[in-house]
């Protein structure tokens, strides 16, 4: 890909950026992205889902990103690529107007004398950097974030405002952590002595690999004795709980409000849909996709798609099914009796 650093681009420049082929007016200027139904002539859109194909005939988009098999369906300018969704993501990054989380080092930031701060680091208002913290070059940390002692944050990582990172955590390069997230809090470890819960000190830590993204209001607990490990290029949505000593393999995706109990081992390229629950000490092999609101109570050893959530249906149908479910035991007994009679 070419390196671009401006706010408007010709179709030909964008094609070069994503190694695609332009069709139509190569000099057409684009300054943003939009949906097929709402984009203007200055915006570029994309099509991957055939459901939205009918919108092509009425779109006002200045160009549309499509796969080669759909190039003839676009009457105007097109950008033809192998993976339209990925190309759209790379182009959208060029037009991103999200402000930086910090610029320079604020006067109210508190940095311990023993901290090692790289070049180009930005710290927002009231950031606290404790003893022996290491911040790589070009790290940006938003206002009111606390980084506790001994933590390492790799170069070009972005920590949004109001994040808490506990002690001795290791965060890789180009990691993004969104607001209200807590990394390295004590794992849920207790022993019961005659009805009284005794906390077990959690002496492990958390490791987060390069290029991972952690959503807002998520929690990743530190390990009890060994580390909780998040691999490279793992994406974790908002309000996700990762228990102590979990291992999540490279390139996996954990969607919102999923809860993963302690000591789970999740492989590479795993996708857990929103609202999933994973029992403790579960192993999931590589290349597994789990649909939303599924409860995983045993190991998954074969790649594939797994489900257990109840899809929505009309209330009247659901009520009938609920009644029939209650009748299963008696129906089973009747069938067994008939089998014996025959």
CATH code of the domain in which 49 resides: 3.40.1390.10
Catalytically annotated residues: 244
Q: Could you tell me if residue 4 is inside a domain?
A: no
pLDDT above 90 covers a percentage of the chain that reads 94
Compute the 3-state secondary structure of the chain and give helix, strand, coil in percent, each to the nearest 5. Answer: 15, 30, 55
Q: Could you tell me if residue 105 is inside a domain?
A: no
Q: Could you tell me if residue 168 is inside a domain?
A: yes
Rounded (10°) angle between helices 328-341 and 315-326: 50
Q: What is the pLDDT of residue 4?
A: 62
Residues 122, 45, single domain; the answer is no
- Residue 116: name the closest of 163, 157, 149 by CA: 149
Residue 71 has pLDDT above 80, yes or no: yes
DSSP-assigned letter for residue 300: B
Residues 137, 27, single domain; the answer is no
Asked if 202 and 180 count as a contact pair (C-beta separation under 8 A), the reply is: no
Does the predicted model carry a pTM greater than 0.85? Answer: yes
Residue 309 has pLDDT above 90, yes or no: no
Give the total residue count for the chain. Answer: 342
Concatenated DSSP letters for 151-212? -EE-TT-EE-TT-EE-TT-EE-TT-EE-TT-EEEEPP--EEEETTEEEEPP----EEE-TT-
Residues 274, 321, single domain; the answer is no
pLDDT tens track for 140-161: 999 999 999 999 999 999 999 9
Residues 268, 326, single domain; the answer is no
Residues 340, 198, single domain; the answer is no
pLDDT tens track for 218-259: 999 999 999 999 999 999 999 999 999 999 999 999 999 999
Residues 138, 278, single domain; the answer is yes
d(CA 262, CA 278): 9
Residues 145, 293, single domain; the answer is yes
- Number of domains observed in the structure of the chain: 3
Residues 296, 326, single domain; the answer is no
Q: Could you tell me if residue 2 is inside a domain?
A: no
- Residue 133: name the closest of 163, 119, 153, 109 by CA: 153
Residues 195, 283, single domain; the answer is yes
Residue 299 has pLDDT above 60, yes or no: yes
Q: Average pLDDT of the chain? A: 96
Residues 259, 202, single domain; the answer is yes
Q: Which domain holds residue 328?
A: 316-342
Q: Could you tell me if residue 115 is inside a domain?
A: yes
């Amino acid at each position: 890909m070419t390196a671009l650093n401006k706010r408007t681009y010709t179709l030909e420049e964008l094609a070069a950026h994503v190694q695609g082929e332009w069709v139509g007016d190569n000099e057409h200027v684009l300054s943003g992205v939009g949906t097929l139904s709402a984009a203007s002539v200055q915006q570029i859109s994309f099509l991957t889902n055939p459901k939205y194909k009918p919108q092509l005939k009425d779109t006002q988009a200045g160009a549309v990103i499509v796969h080669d098999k759909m190039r003839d369906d676009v009457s105007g300018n097109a950008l033809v690529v192998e993976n339209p969704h990925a190309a759209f993501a790379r182009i959208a990054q060029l037009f991103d107007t999200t402000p930086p989380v910090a610029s320079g080092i604020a006067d109210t930031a508190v940095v311990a004398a023993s901290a090692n701060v790289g070049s180009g680091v930005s710290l927002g208002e009231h950031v606290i950097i404790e003893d022996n913290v290491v911040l790589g070059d070009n790290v940006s940390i938003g206002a009111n974030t606390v980084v506790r002692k001994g933590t390492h944050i790799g170069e070009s990582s972005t920590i949004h405002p109001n994040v808490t990172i506990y002690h001795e955590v290791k965060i890789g390069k180009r990691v993004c952590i969104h607001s209200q997230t807590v990394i390295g809090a004590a794992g849920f470890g207790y022993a019961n002595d005659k009805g009284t819960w005794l906390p077990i000190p959690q002496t492990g830590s958390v490791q987060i690999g390069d290029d991972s993204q952690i959503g807002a209001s998520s929690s990743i607990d530190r390990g009890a004795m060994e580390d909780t490990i998040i691999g490279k290029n793992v994406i974790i949505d908002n309000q996700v709980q990762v228990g102590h000593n979990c291992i999540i393999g490279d390139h996996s995706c954990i969607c919102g409000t999923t809860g993963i109990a302690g000591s789970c081992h999740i492989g590479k390229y795993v996708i857990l849909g929103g609202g999933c629950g994973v029992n403790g000490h579960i192993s999931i092999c590589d290349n597994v996709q789990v649909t939303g609101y599924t409860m995983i109570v045993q190991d998954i050893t074969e790649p594939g798609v797994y489900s257990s959530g109840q899809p929505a249906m009309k209330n009247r149908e659901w009520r009938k099914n609920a009644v029939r479910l209650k009748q299963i035991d008696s129906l089973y007994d009747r069938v067994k009796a008939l089998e014996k009679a025959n």
